[in-house]
Structure 1
Amino acid sequence: MAITAIETYYSGHLFRSRLEARWATVFNDLGIRWEYEPQGFLVGDQQRPYLPDFHFPDLGWWIEVKGASERLDMTLLADAVHPTKGIGPHGGTTSLLILGPIPDTCGATPLHFSVTRQADCGQLHRCDDNCDYPPPLYGLDYFLAIDDLASLGTDLTKIRPSDRETWRKWGAYPIPYCKASSTVPRGDLTRALLDPRVPVGPHLEAAYTLGRTARFEHGAQAA
């Protein structure tokens, strides 16, 4: 039986689903500046319409939120991250983070699937319309709150000044964890994986707990 999405008002936005609003509470708690459905695109060779759910303007990331993997249109997402006919600027690599139900951290950092594509013929600006591109690449990414860095043994003084300013200003950052094979990985792409090798920091754990337990009484605010 299909579950009907519940429109939810939070932080000045009317979200199409309660899950989107819950993720917005996580982003707010981590200090990530976000935009909700800021722009639609025509993607791929067939110029199919696509409207990403969130955009992180300061990190350059686009976000797709779905409650279940079977609701993902993987061919559309592959078109969305096409280097020249996708949602990113021409000449750059675009990544799309896939977020599903907010997981219980259980003491480990949640890893979320992402999808990206890159040019397969040298520098992208040298490619023409006949250039071939590889299939989508899937990886895992995680969030990290700035006040959790010390617990992970990260020394801010060893980070490049430009990156260090990003940490201080935005508080959280999606870190590329690994790249999987070029085929769609097995399992549920909306289900986060927990990596015990990366212990969850107190701020990140609190942000996920806030998102899971947020209440939106009378369609107004998260309690």
Structure 2
Amino acid sequence: MSIRAIETSYAGHRFRSRLEARWAVFFDSLGMRWEYEPQGYAVGPDGARRPYLPDFFLPEQRLWGEVNGSEQQLDVELVFHAAIPHYGLPNPAGPHVFSEHQVQLLILGPVERVSALVDAKTGEHAGYSQPTHTVLSFRKGDVFQGTASFYATGIDIEPDGGLVGDDGPDIRWNTRGSEWGNWVCGGVLLSEDRDEDVYAGYRAARSARFEHGQTP
């Protein structure tokens, strides 16, 4: 039996799930512009193209965003094809190129807790432990799985996390690595006090209450 997500209204949009709405709250908390389901595309190689409607587009970061509560709900082959520029998602803001990688897609899992860190010796505040999320990028014919973490004014991306396939298009299932979108506790970023806004953003998204479809 499948569990049906609860549609939720927020900021003039009707989100398909509360998790999507929580990520919109998070983006708003950080002052990041977002568009919800702006455009659908047919992605994949000729003869196997499939419709795909990404959840978010972040124009300032030039990234598409896909939200899933668990990897079991994620169509891995579809988002893999979406990350290959010549038959995947186009980028209306221009390519996001970092370290020769064309970063295409940010995959977001549950909105996890962010913990305040305390120096064991002094008892003083020592920053925050915050989640990392998955990004898919393309470089020289190959698709790579990397990580992304948020900071006060944007996103910090490490695209070179591992090769997961090529534009054959073949997914290397045996070397694919960690679950996409749910690296929330794997690879912890220790942020500085200047990222207090990120901590507040995660907290606002987690604590948002959407009663009867209304705004939090």
Common fold by TM > 0.5: yes
How many aligned positions are there?
182
1:120-158 Cα offsets, whole Å, 9 max, x none, are 2xxxxxxxxxxxx22x2000011111xxxxxxxxxxxxx
Give the aligned residue type for 1:198.
L
1:128 aligned residue = none
| TM-aligned CA deviation for residue 29 of structure 1 | 0.3
Output the CA distance in 1 between the equivalents of 2:23 and 2:196: 18
Output the CA distance in 2 between the equivalents of 1:41 and 1:54: 13
1:87-108 Cα offsets, whole Å, 9 max, x none, are 1249943410000100111231
**Aligned to 1:198, which of 190, 204, 214?**
190
| TM-aligned CA deviation for residue 195 of structure 1 | 4.4
Is the 1:5–1:18 contact (alpha carbons within 8 Å) kept by the matching residues of 2? Answer: yes
2:155 is the alignment partner of 1:174? yes
Structure-2 change in CA distance of 1:41 and 1:197 (3 Å)? closer
User: Higher strand proportion, which one?
Assistant: 2
Give the aligned residue type for 1:110.
P
1:84 aligned residue = 86
2:210 aligned residue = 216
User: RMSD between aligned alpha carbons?
Assistant: 2.0
1:23 aligned residue = 23
Scaled by the length of structure 1, the TM-score of the pair is 0.75
1:50 aligned residue = 52
2:113 aligned residue = 104
1:14 aligned residue = 14
Is the 1:112–1:142 contact (alpha carbons within 8 Å) kept by the matching residues of 2? Answer: yes
Give the aligned residue type for 1:103.
E
Structure 1 stretch displaced more, 83-92 or 180-189: 83-92
Q: Partner of 1:190: helix, strand, or coil?
A: coil
Q: Partner of 2:213: helix, strand, or coil?
A: coil
Is the 2:22–2:208 contact (alpha carbons within 8 Å) kept by the matching residues of 1? Answer: yes
Give the aligned residue type for 1:186.
G
Q: Partner of 1:204: helix, strand, or coil?
A: helix
Q: Partner of 1:207: helix, strand, or coil?
A: helix
Is the 1:87–1:94 contact (alpha carbons within 8 Å) kept by the matching residues of 2? Answer: no
2:178 is the alignment partner of 1:187? yes
Output the CA distance in 1 between the equivalents of 2:214 and 2:89: 31
| TM-aligned CA deviation for residue 182 of structure 1 | 0.7
Taking CA–CA contacts closer than 8 Å with sequence separation of 6 or more, which of the two structures ends up with the larger relative contact order?
Answer: 1
Is the 1:43–1:79 contact (alpha carbons within 8 Å) kept by the matching residues of 2? Answer: yes
Is the 2:113–2:130 contact (alpha carbons within 8 Å) kept by the matching residues of 1? Answer: no
Output the CA distance in 2 between the equivalents of 1:55 and 1:98: 12
Give the aligned residue type for 1:52.
P
Unaligned runs of 5+ in 2: 96-101, 116-127, 165-174
| TM-aligned CA deviation for residue 6 of structure 1 | 0.3
2:40 aligned residue = 40
Structure 1 stretch displaced more, 174-183 or 70-79: 174-183
Is the 1:81–1:117 contact (alpha carbons within 8 Å) kept by the matching residues of 2? Answer: yes
